[in-house]
């Protein structure tokens, strides 16, 4: 309880923290910075009717949205279909894109809506354990020993399985904060809940993932700090 | 070090997955660009205001308007109209991230706007004794139902236009934002019916003029949001 309260009081972002942990992707934080990036400017042009700007948006956001959807539990082929659906909706909604804003939170919201529509559809069956760790080229695998590579694959599989077992609400909170580089404010608005509620969801997901990784004794970057936090929580 | 950096303890299961984009989709159907969307929304707003003003002109301003106290006019007519316009503007405001204002602000307004109308109707002293003072009065139910129908009809057309011009406009918080638009249009209709109907009975005001606001908010949140969600 103590730790949850401390967690909630944090004005959190994770974007500028140093790289840590096996396979950690560096989240982006452009959504909250003031300056517009090239993809934001491309979206400005596209919203104003410049069709030639679309490939720029697709090249930048397409892979990110596909990975987001895979992390949310979609199989690779389903994620690809949902990316196409997302961009179809982006196309139809471009007239509503607000001037001078970043496109990433807006596009993630649309992708999330596509994911929810897909998940709710009675005709579709989501692949729960969507990521096949054996088919993924893991970071750290290059030049790593066989044992390190094996641990990396095993931890990726465990994370994938635990993510799939979480409730969608907790999973999306964690994925947006941890992997997609959203600030708490942006993620909360994408999900449509308060910042405090989002932090609680992400925290529960983190605890489940941490416990699963601890069981397989994966060395984590901030183990000492985490140990302190666990003792504080108890 | 940032506060949530410990989340990075958890490795990314798809960190090494292929990052190349697939084939660029091509869309056969055209979509409205920003200038067109803006023109359509302004047109819808103009038609909606015209709809209310035309009906008000045809039905006429209430006969007792000249002898109503200023505070009664302010709280029963001006305030709902003001809250309605403000709610409308806030519902479509882009907010900091282009996703609208926060859910707490939008949701709060969607509830408090209609609530303010009901509180004014229930708590404000009537300027003079009402003719159909009780629910038992034979004139109460027909009068209330007529006003309910009229107010619903006055709100329905702008709500339909809103659904058409706000298609796929809200990627996030679509339910609350559409609900706020419904509440806003209901409040404008409520203000308009208060400007037309001279019945000061509190029960009549709550049922005939107030219930349609809640209905409009619910229709906005539950029905219009289906079109408005991007």
- pLDDT over 60 at A121, yes or no: yes
> A55 pLDDT band (50/70/90 cuts)?
very high
Q: What is the pTM of this model?
A: 0.83
- Between CA A68 and CA A65 the distance in angstroms is 5
If we measure between CA atoms, which residue out of A206, A204, A201, A207 comes closest to residue A188? A201
Strands (E), chain A: none
Q: What ipTM describes this predicted complex?
A: 0.87
For residue B63, count CB atoms less than 10 angstroms from its CB and return exposed for 0-12, middle for 13-18, buried for 19 or more: exposed
Mind listing the pLDDT tens digit for each residue in B143-156? 999 999 999 999 99
DSSP string, chain B: --TTGGGGGSPPTTTTS-----PPP--SS----HHHHHHHHHHHHHHHHHHHHHHHHHH---TTGGGS-HHHHIIIIIHHHHHHHHHHHHHH--TTTSS-S-HHHHHHHHHHHHHHHHHHHHHSPPSS--SS-STTSTTHHHHHHHHHHHHHHHHHHHHHHHHHHTTT-BSSSHHHHHHHHHHHHHHHHHHHHHHH-----HHHIIIIIIHHHHHHHHHIIIIIHHHHB-
Q: What percent of chain A has pLDDT over 90?
A: 45
- Between CA A101 and CA A95 the distance in angstroms is 13
- pLDDT over 90 at A138, yes or no: no
Contact A189, B97 (CB under 8 A): yes
Using the Cβ of A227 and the Cβ atoms of chain B, whether some distance falls under 8 Å is answered with no
Using the Cβ of A174 and the Cβ atoms of chain B, whether some distance falls under 8 Å is answered with yes
The pLDDT of residue A2 is 47
Using the Cβ of A83 and the Cβ atoms of chain B, whether some distance falls under 8 Å is answered with yes
Contact B141, B24 (CB under 8 A): no
Of B16, B38, B99, the CB nearest to A189: B99
- Between CA A184 and CA A174 the distance in angstroms is 10
> A124 pLDDT band (50/70/90 cuts)?
low
Q: B211: which 2 tokens?
A: 């219930």
- Between CA A59 and CA A67 the distance in angstroms is 13
The pLDDT of residue A154 is 82
Q: Which of residues 58-77 of B touch A (CB under 8 A)?
A: none
- Calculate helix-pair angle for B174-196, B211-219, nearest 10 degrees: 150
Averaged confidence pLDDT in chain A: 77
If we measure between CA atoms, which residue out of B159, B90, B137, B4 comes closest to residue A11? B4
The pLDDT of residue A228 is 43
If we measure between CA atoms, which residue out of B7, B15, B5, B13 comes closest to residue A210? B7
CA distance A131 to chain B (A): 7
> B23 pLDDT band (50/70/90 cuts)?
confident
Q: Which residues contact B173 (CB under 8 A, 6 or more apart)?
A: A189, A192, B99, B100, B103, B106
Q: What percent of chain A has pLDDT over 70?
A: 68
Q: What is the rounded end-to-end Cα distance, in angstroms, of chain A?
A: 8
Mind listing the pLDDT tens digit for each residue in A85-105? 999 999 999 999 999 999 999
Pick from A120-129, A173-182, B41-50, B205-214: least confident? A120-129
> B136 pLDDT band (50/70/90 cuts)?
low
Across the strands, what pairs with B170?
A: B229
- pLDDT over 90 at A20, yes or no: no
Neighboring chain B residues of A66 at a CB cutoff of 8 Å: 22
Q: Which of residues 88-117 of A touch B (CB under 8 A)?
A: 88-89, 91-99, 101-102, 105-106, 109-110, 113
Mind listing the pLDDT tens digit for each residue in B9-21? 788 888 766 666 6
Pick from A2-11, A157-166, B134-143, B167-176: least confident? A2-11
């Amino acid at each position: 309880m103590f730790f949850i309260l401390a967690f909630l009081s944090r004005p959190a972002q994770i974007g500028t923290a140093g790289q840590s942990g096996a396979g950690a992707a560096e989240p982006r934080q452009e959504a909250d910075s003031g300056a517009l990036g090239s993809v934001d400017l491309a979206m400005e042009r596209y919203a104003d009717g410049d069709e030639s700007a679309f490939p720029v948006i697709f090249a930048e956001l397409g892979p990110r949205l596909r990975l987001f959807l895979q992390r949310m539990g979609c199989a690779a082929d389903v994620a690809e279909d949902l990316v196409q659906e997302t961009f179809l909706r982006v196309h139809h909604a471009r007239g509503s894109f607000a001037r001078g804003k970043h496109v990433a939170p807006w596009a993630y919201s649309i992708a999330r809506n596509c994911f929810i529509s897909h998940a709710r559809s009675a005709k579709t069956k989501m692949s729960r354990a969507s990521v096949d760790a054996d088919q993924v080229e893991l970071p750290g695998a290059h030049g790593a020993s066989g044992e390190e590579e094996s641990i990396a694959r095993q931890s990726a599989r465990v994370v994938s399985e635990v993510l799939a077992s979480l409730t969608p609400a907790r999973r999306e909170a964690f994925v947006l904060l941890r992997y997609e580089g959203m600030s708490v404010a942006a993620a909360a608005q994408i999900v449509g809940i308060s910042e405090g509620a989002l932090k609680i969801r992400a925290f529960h997901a983190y605890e489940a993932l941490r416990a699963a990784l601890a069981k397989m004794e994966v060395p984590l970057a901030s183990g000492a700090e985490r140990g302190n936090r666990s003792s504080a929580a108890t | 070090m940032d506060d949530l950096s410990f989340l990075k303890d958890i490795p990314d299961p798809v960190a090494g997955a292929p990052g190349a984009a697939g084939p660029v989709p091509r869309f056969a159907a055209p979509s409205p660009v920003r200038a067109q969307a803006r023109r359509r929304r302004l047109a819808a707003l103009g038609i909606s205001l015209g709809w209310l003003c035309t009906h008000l002109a045809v039905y006429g301003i209430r006969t007792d308007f000249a002898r109503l106290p200023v505070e009664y006019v302010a709280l029963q007519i001006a305030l709902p109209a003001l809250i309605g316009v403000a709610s409308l503007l806030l519902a479509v405001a882009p907010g900091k991230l282009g996703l609208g204002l926060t859910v707490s602000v939008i949701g709060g307004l969607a509830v408090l706007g209609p609530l303010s109308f009901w509180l004014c109707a229930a708590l404000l002293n009537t300027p003079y004794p009402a003719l159909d003072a009780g629910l038992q009065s034979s004139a109460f139910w027909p009068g209330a139902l007529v006003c309910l129908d009229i107010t619903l009809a006055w709100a329905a057309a702008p709500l339909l236009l809103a659904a058409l011009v706000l298609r796929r406009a809200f990627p996030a918080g679509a339910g609350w934002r559409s609900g706020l638009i419904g509440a806003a249009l209901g409040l404008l209709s409520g203000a308009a019916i208060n400007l037309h109907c001279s019945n000061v009975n509190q029960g009549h005001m709550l049922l005939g003029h107030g219930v349609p606001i809640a209905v409009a908010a619910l229709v906005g949140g539950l029905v219009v949001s289906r079109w408005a969600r991007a």
